[in-house]
Structure 1
Amino acid sequence: MGWFRSGLFWRTFLLLSILTTVSMASWIGMISTMQRGAKVEQTAQLVISVVTITHAALTHSAPELRRELLFELVSNEGIRIFTLEDSDVVDPPPDNPLMPDIARIVREKLGADTQFSSSVNGVAGFWVSFKIDDDKYWLMLERERLSGLTGVQWLGWASVVGVLSLLGAALISSLINLPLARLTAAARDIAQGKRPAPLPEKGSKEIIGANRSFNQMVDDLQQVESDRAVILAGISHDLRTPLARMQLELEMAQLGAEAREGMQSDIAQMDAIIGQFLDYARPTEAATFVTIDISGLLEDAARAAERLPGMTVNTDIAQDLLVNGNATDLRRVVNNLIENARRYGQTPGTGATEIDISCRVKPTGLGKRVVIEVQDHGVGVPDDQIEQLLKPFTRMDTARGQANGAGLGLAIVERVVLRHNAELIVSNRQGGGLRIQILLPLAE
């Protein structure tokens, strides 16, 4: 059942195998039923014919020629004639489902006193009794002349047909599963930021239609990415240029210290929000992935965070852990998590922020993963609202305190993590605060 649930190939293969087995069993049963009557009649007529011909030959032959006749029957026909004695050791007839019907038909022709045996005096064969006047005789036929396919032969043929059927089922399952496997691999490439090769537009009309639609979707997504790059460049130029001019004019204006600080804070906030929008929309290209020393990257980020006022950073980072990814994007992820903790994770009643950063290797079902963990000691988030944190433009201000920003920090983290084929887990820390885990594949 695990194989049955694991994928379309095994599911199709198992269903085809069951169908083939049931069909074979039905055919064998039907053939056996249809052949039973014909087999009984054929065997009975053979026995009757042999006994009748032998009886006639012995009756009408001269006494001096009977020995020679018996020799010819043994040599050429495999028929032996013996005198029936009361002292003969007679075994029961052959244990065959057809034997009762054969015996009934033969006795109807040769007489009700006809006897059958599978062995007489230790000699195995198919024995039938008959009479010539008052003398009784045994006629022995070789079993090979009466036997059809044995159970071993039936099993052998059934095994050959079964193996060929299973190979055919495997081939059919592969052909059915191949287009879907290609589509799954292409969709996985898109999820990882890669541009997949065009899917072949051949096969059945359903496969052609699905592959053609998928190829068109890939082209449309590529065009959207190109258009977005142009828009991002426009936003960066059209918005940040006026902000820079405003900052310059503010420096030259004759304003009080309080008004100047307020306007500078507003400009810095607008510039940070624009930066968040750009980070959220910027694609992470898999082609830019390189091997990164994630341990060193986390230590650098921790040292930078310790220099911020009111920050305490506790680290437990294993050394020399390597992952594949975009160094700039992963650094942005770590900085976003630290900034998130700094803004929202202040320890209640202290006004200061304490952050725990750890990194270690953890074996999983998908291989070894590097687990990055960032925790704060704040008030945390209600459990029923944790999923909302990952949605764009969402801020849990009521739970985490007032802060500036567009609510894109964790949304940016999630987008980058997914493009790195990693996993993001958000939960509350025991004792208060938010815990964020990132599971990255360990580089070879």
Structure 2
Amino acid sequence: MAGAARRLSWFKSGLFWRTFLLLGLLTTLSMASWIGMINAVQRGPQVKQTAELVISVVTLTRAALTHSAIDLRKELLFDLVSNEGIRITTLTANDVVEPPPDNPLMPEIEAMVKEKLGTDTRFSSSVNGVAGFWISFKIDGDEYWLMLERERLDSLSGVQWLGWASLVGVLSLLGAALISSLINLPLARLTAAARAIAQGKRPDPLPEKGAQEIIEANRSFNQMVDDLQQVESDRALILAGISHDLRTPLTRMQLELEMAKLSTEAREGLQSDIAQMDAIIGQFLDYAKPTEAASFIAVDISYLLADVARAAERMPNMRVRSDIEAGVHVLGNETDLRRVFNNLVENARRYGATPGGDITEIDISCRVVATGGVKRAVICLQDHGVGVPPEQIEQLLKPFTRMDTARGQANGAGLGLAIVERVVGRHGAMLALRNRDGGGLEVELAMPMVA
């Protein structure tokens, strides 16, 4: 039910379908108006033409039979059948007669014909099992049937009109689909390019051709992509320079500290401050570092998670439980993914200690889930701490943000989860944060597997 609702929503909101439906509706209304106008204009002439044809055939046939010699009538009837498609038979009371053709014009045609040939004129669509257009007439008190082939009265049927209207309607809908595609194609390209930027990729330049508005939009987008690429390069260069300029005096301060005559407490405090400053600089660089999709390879995420779990177990006051499915491979950058999992473990170590105790428990799991025919590696990391207020969960992913309950024990710049979201987004994965049942924070990543 939910899938059908999503498809219906997409059907309603898609520009292609909106344009197609509007053009199709316009074409249908135009066809209906055109057919109605044709029927209104041609109805009278068509009725008159058909009635005059029937009257003329009956009158001429009756005159020919009346004035012909009796011994030549058989030959005349044969000529009428073979050359004109007109059949004459005697009307008897035992004839099996079907009603006249069911046609909207038939009542008006009957009225005009009876006005000329007499009110006792009869019409039938079949006499004694022989289909045709039958009309009765009299010669010297004797009644006869005259049959015309239906092909001569095709105008009585709307089948041909319906066929042509259907053909024109289908061609019109195909034209509407083509026009909708031409309108939607530039926007589809723009959407795909914007999605590629959101995933950290550099899209191919959009073609600067077509309508003037499309040219200007694509040109502006291409310029924006170039500007973003330049900004990214400049930022990486600036941060690299800042890192070098800051870490050099930090190293000198560390050396001076080792040589200075300070108390053990003062020395350890200054060393802790220097280490914290160096860690903050490292976080800035990790956050600003671009992840190139071109460098992605098949990564054994099972082995990587197991290695991260073993490293976490060696930390003091850490207890790690792992449930990792073997042989799971994803496409990505192994260094960046290791940084992601290390940041998640570090975040759990700092803020996920069991309430009332010093032990931090972490659960790490990895399993393969198939949804809609697409296999994904679902990685889940849980701690057993106090969790986060539900209304503040979304704030966790913002740069330089820490929850108030964690500020007293925080040693970083508040970039740990922001780095995770940035790297995960560039890998085309989905990140979800929620409170764990029973207390603690649960982080779930769904990554596409290697095809």
Q: State the TM-score bracket (shorter-chain normalisation).
A: over 0.9
Task: Say whether 1:334 aligns with 2:366.
Answer: no
Task: Say whether 1:47 aligns with 2:54.
Answer: yes
Task: Say whether 1:298 aligns with 2:296.
Answer: no
The 5-angstrom pairing of residues 166-185 of structure 1 reads 166-185=173-192
Report the residue type matching 1:138 in the other structure.
W
Deviation sequence 1:368-426 (CA, Å, 0-9, x none): 11112111111111111111111111111326753222111111111011001001111
How far the C-alpha of 1:135 sits from its partner, in A, is 4.2
How far the C-alpha of 1:148 sits from its partner, in A, is 2.6
**Match for 1:344 among 331, 338, 351?**
351
Counterpart in 2 of 1:31?
38
- Identity percentage of aligned residues: 77
Deviation sequence 1:102-132 (CA, Å, 0-9, x none): 1111121222232323334444332323334
Secondary structure of 1:386's aligned partner: helix
| CA–CA separation in structure 2 for the residues paired with 1:376 and 1:89 | 93
**Match for 2:413 among 400, 406, 411?**
406
| CA–CA separation in structure 2 for the residues paired with 1:24 and 1:252 | 95
Rate the CA distance shift 1:123–1:304 in 2: closer, same or farther, 3 A.
closer
| CA–CA separation in structure 1 for the residues paired with 2:122 and 2:305 | 97
My pick for the range that moved more, 418-427 or 58-67, is 58-67
Task: Say whether 1:217 aligns with 2:224.
Answer: yes
Rate the CA distance shift 1:150–1:95 in 2: closer, same or farther, 3 A.
closer
Rate the CA distance shift 1:80–1:291 in 2: closer, same or farther, 3 A.
closer
The 5-angstrom pairing of residues 204-353 of structure 1 reads 204-353=211-360
How far the C-alpha of 1:427 sits from its partner, in A, is 0.9
Asked if 2 retains the 8 angstrom alpha-carbon contact of 1:289 and 1:325, the reply is yes
Counterpart in 2 of 1:387?
394
Rate the CA distance shift 1:157–1:235 in 2: closer, same or farther, 3 A.
same
Report the residue type matching 1:126 in the other structure.
F
Question: What is the TM-score of this pair, normalised by structure 2?
Answer: 0.91
How far the C-alpha of 1:209 sits from its partner, in A, is 1.7
Asked if 2 retains the 8 angstrom alpha-carbon contact of 1:73 and 1:80, the reply is yes
| CA–CA separation in structure 2 for the residues paired with 1:395 and 1:158 | 68
| CA–CA separation in structure 2 for the residues paired with 1:87 and 1:366 | 72
| CA–CA separation in structure 2 for the residues paired with 1:84 and 1:365 | 73
Secondary structure of 1:130's aligned partner: strand
Report the residue type matching 2:256 in the other structure.
E
How far the C-alpha of 1:219 sits from its partner, in A, is 0.6
**Match for 2:85 among 71, 78, 82?**
78
| CA–CA separation in structure 2 for the residues paired with 1:223 and 1:95 | 77
Deviation sequence 1:312-349 (CA, Å, 0-9, x none): 11111122211111111111111111111111111122
How far the C-alpha of 1:152 sits from its partner, in A, is 5.0
Secondary structure of 2:270's aligned partner: helix
How far the C-alpha of 1:63 sits from its partner, in A, is 4.7
Counterpart in 2 of 1:427?
434
Report the residue type matching 1:145 in the other structure.
R
My pick for the range that moved more, 388-397 or 126-135, is 126-135
How far the C-alpha of 1:302 sits from its partner, in A, is 1.6
How far the C-alpha of 1:233 sits from its partner, in A, is 1.7
Q: How many residues align?
A: 444
Counterpart in 1 of 2:168?
161
How far the C-alpha of 1:158 sits from its partner, in A, is 4.2
The 5-angstrom pairing of residues 18-167 of structure 1 reads 18-85=25-92, 88-148=95-155, 150=157, 153-167=160-174
Asked if 2 retains the 8 angstrom alpha-carbon contact of 1:345 and 1:377, the reply is yes
| CA–CA separation in structure 2 for the residues paired with 1:349 and 1:87 | 109
| CA–CA separation in structure 1 for the residues paired with 2:66 and 2:353 | 121
How far the C-alpha of 1:90 sits from its partner, in A, is 4.2
Asked if 2 retains the 8 angstrom alpha-carbon contact of 1:344 and 1:401, the reply is no
Gaps of 5+ in 1: none
| CA–CA separation in structure 2 for the residues paired with 1:207 and 1:399 | 50
Deviation sequence 1:20-60 (CA, Å, 0-9, x none): 34443443343334332222111100011112222333444
Counterpart in 2 of 1:374?
381
Rate the CA distance shift 1:434–1:41 in 2: closer, same or farther, 3 A.
same
| CA–CA separation in structure 2 for the residues paired with 1:397 and 1:66 | 116
Gaps of 5+ in 2: 1-6
Rate the CA distance shift 1:83–1:231 in 2: closer, same or farther, 3 A.
same
Task: Say whether 1:443 aligns with 2:420.
Answer: no
Report the residue type matching 1:331 in the other structure.
R
Q: Report the RMSD for the aligned CA atoms in angstroms.
A: 2.4
| CA–CA separation in structure 2 for the residues paired with 1:354 and 1:85 | 106
Secondary structure of 2:154's aligned partner: coil
Task: Say whether 1:194 aligns with 2:201.
Answer: yes
